[in-house]
Amino acid sequence: MDPSLEHAIALIVRTRAGRQPTPVVRSFFDEATFTASYVVHDPASLAAAIIDPVLDFDATTCRYSSTSAEAIVAYIESEGLSTEWLLETHAHADHLTAAPFLQARVGGTHAIGRAITTVQQIFGDLFNAGPEFPRDGSQFDHLLDDGEKFRIGVIECGVLDVPGHTPAGLAYVIGDAVFCGNTMFMPDYGTARTDLPGGDARRLYRSIRRLLCLPDEARLFLSHDYKAPGRDTYAWETTIGAERTANVHVRDGITEGAFVGARTARDATLALPSLILQAMQVNMRAGAFPPMEDNGKCYLRIPLNAI
């Protein structure tokens, strides 16, 4: 077994055995973008991490607001939490990150996977960002590697590289809680798309099978939910065991070839995420907007016939 996965399994086992505190997880679901954000904290020290926060954006008016992020601030303040980390599972294509707003209000180190540099190269070229836009990940406070260890208070955490949806996907193992980003969704909905720039269905399959080696009882927290046919409520928490036995796209017994064929066929029917052009310009910059122009205004670019 690879060392990163072995460490992640050990974290889950130790937590379930009571040898370190069980993290408290509070979710915030943004129905406009179908995104689940999280605040995770250590009940002993009240140290916390924020995962995948949303900045509200209206594509019709091109106005943004911090309503969703303010709810996170209110929760952190009401619980007396101290923010240590602002964690991105990847550079999302369906919402703008609120990390800079939250960092200004509650602090924290803003981190993402080291492969964000590949995403920056792809989308920096797409938006003709020019040489003034560094493609080295330096916009973020910290770039995380597969197997890296960090702490939230006294809770030991681990990082698993899970590319496929994008080149820079990460899963965070925080105690017995796993935040898998855009890899899997609820078992009745399946898995993330792989047809966006830099995506790869084979890599996603292998990333998911890696996650499914974790203990069945591990709590699994998803980045999105879209309500599977026949289900009337949103859901974004499940377990590794439920995914391994029941995920409609990638449960035990489904081969890599079968998954790639089915995933590729499904992706061909999907429309682009409605905010991909706006979100990626901001998220590749760690949540910053492009520089103001000489009239004092900031502009987002819309490339024609490019995707």
pLDDT at 218 over 80: yes
Contact of 213 with 5, CB cutoff 8 Å: yes
Q: What is the pTM of this model?
A: 0.97
CA pair distance 206, 191, nearest whole angstrom: 12
Q: What pLDDT digit, counting tens, does each position of 26-66 carry?
A: 999 999 999 999 999 999 999 999 999 999 999 999 999 99
Q: What pLDDT digit, counting tens, does each position of 132-183 carry?
A: 999 999 999 999 999 999 999 999 999 999 999 999 999 999 999 999 999 9
Q: What pLDDT digit, counting tens, does each position of 263-280 carry?
A: 999 999 999 999 999 999
CA pair distance 45, 21, nearest whole angstrom: 10
Please give the distance of CA 158 from its chain centroid, rounded to a whole number: 15
List, as own/partner pairs, every contact residues 232-240 make where C-beta atoms lie below 8 angstroms and the sequence separation is at least 24, other chains included: 234/29, 234/31, 234/34, 235/186, 236/27, 236/29, 236/36, 236/186, 237/27, 238/186, 238/187, 240/178, 240/211, 240/212, 240/214, 240/215, 240/216
Q: What pLDDT digit, counting tens, does each position of 223-242 carry?
A: 999 999 999 999 999 999 99
Contact of 182 with 224, CB cutoff 8 Å: yes
Calculate mean pLDDT across residues 185-199: 97
Average pLDDT, the chain: 97
Calculate mean pLDDT across residues 276-289: 97
pLDDT at 306 over 90: no
Biggest CA–CA distance in the chain, Å, is 60
Domains of the chain with CATH codes: 3-273 (3.60.15.10)
Contact of 35 with 53, CB cutoff 8 Å: no
Contact of 100 with 69, CB cutoff 8 Å: no
